[in-house]
Amino acid sequence: MKKYNVCMVGIGAVGTEIVRLLRKRNFPMAKLTAFATRERTEMIDGLPLDVKVATGGESFKGYDFAFFAGTEGAKGASKTLGWAAAEAGCVVVDNGDDFRMDPRVPLCIPEINADALKGHSNFIANPNCSTAIALVPLYALHREAKIKRIVCCTYQAVSGSGSAAIRELETQTRAWAEGKPLTHEVYPAQIAFNVIAQIGSEAKDMPGYTSEEAKLGRETRKIIGDDSIQAVSTCVRVPVFNGHSEALHVEFHHPITPERATEILSNFPGVQVVDDLAKSRFPMPIEASGIYDTLVGRIRKDPTVPNGLSLFVSGDNIWKGAAQNAIQIAEKMIEMGLK
């Protein structure tokens, strides 16, 4: 089997999980290097990783894949180095949102639109974490009933904000248990034992909505390839370490029953149905964390709209929502003979 030289830009929460998943999934690597702001050696799960400083496109020559591993909302790295890496012959898979809507750049969830990779220019975008977790099960239903409108409410873990946010929740929880004052730096308010109804800044093209809330609709339309789909979101940060959850209320063009939806979802790759209300079995972030699939449950009819369904999903935002999806893109490119 051919082996590939792999690098990543950034070695925070997402970058660390990319390393773990590359090893866990036995990605065919000849070499693995990280680029960051200073040169060093990082130990991840007891194994060393060389960290270098990228100075431009020349740094990426000889590499086959480059994963730009910034957390959601992080700016700058792919703008500074992404296209230079692509021009050096390296396939860039970018976790940031700078180029997701760029017409030159495929926005890919491999279970849904792998064919979009055929038109790549050595630059592919990873979708937003909430989009990736919601869209795998929603696309399975869209193929049969065609989505008309999505109303989405998210419950997003602090790992989506990076390592500093994880530490902040840990520190606040310990302080509360010890009766000490709770301070905050990462978030605009205390996150422990609280929820914060703001993720991102106000969207320029959607007054009153945050940048996170604006992403679901535009990314869904691009990935599915249907500009008629309407979507509205409320995105909330919750005191969960890892694993995003979402309440999805979906109106379809064609009838679909909860029973038929359950059958479809049970047979779609990347989805696990967890749905037994009588036994209190439904998706939870604590069970979704550290698995590849999106958990789907609470599948029921929405009686307020024609052809409506409501469901609840949980998924690992650092895995399927970031690192895993990026690696799946590279794996799919190799499988399709595109690299």
What string of DSSP letters covers 229-250?
Answer: -EEEEEEEE-S-SS-EEEEEEE
Q: Please give the helix or strand (H or E) that residue 258 lies within, else none.
A: helix 258-266
- 312 pLDDT band, cuts 50/70/90, is very high
Q: For residues 218-224, give the mean pLDDT.
A: 98
The mean pLDDT of the chain is 95
**Which residue is listed with tokens 């038109």?**
119
- pTM of the entire predicted model: 0.95
Q: How far apart are the first and last CA of the chain?
A: 13
Q: For residues 185-207, give the mean pLDDT.
A: 96
Q: Residue 70: pLDDT above 90?
A: no
Tell me the per-residue pLDDT of 266-306, one tens digit each, with 9 for 90 and over. Answer: 999 999 999 999 999 999 999 999 999 999 999 999 999 99
The amino acid occupying position 187 is Y
Q: Residue 240: pLDDT above 60?
A: yes
- 71 pLDDT band, cuts 50/70/90, is low
Tell me the per-residue pLDDT of 144-183, one tens digit each, with 9 for 90 and over. Answer: 999 999 999 999 999 999 999 999 999 999 999 999 999 9
* Closest C-alpha to 198, from 206, 187, 185, 207: 187
Q: How far apart are CA 321 and CA 311, in angstroms?
A: 19
8-state DSSP, 279: G
pLDDT given at position 55: 87
Do the beta carbons of residue 15 and residue 39 sit within 8 Å?
no
- 12 pLDDT band, cuts 50/70/90, is confident
- 72 pLDDT band, cuts 50/70/90, is very low
The catalytic residues are 129, 244
Q: Spell out the domain ranges in the chain.
A: 4-127+322-335, 131-316
For 131-316, the fitting CATH number among 3.90.1170.50, 3.30.1330.80, 3.30.360.10, 1.20.120.420 is: 3.30.360.10
Q: How far apart are CA 172 and CA 185, in angstroms?
A: 11
Token pair recorded at residue 24: 């866990």
Q: How far apart are CA 30 and CA 22, in angstroms?
A: 12
pLDDT given at position 73: 45
- For domain 4-127+322-335, give the CATH superfamily: NAD(P)-binding Rossmann-like Domain (3.40.50.720)
Query: Of the ranges 4-8, 35-39, 192-196, 198-202, which one carries the lowest mean pLDDT score?
Result: 35-39
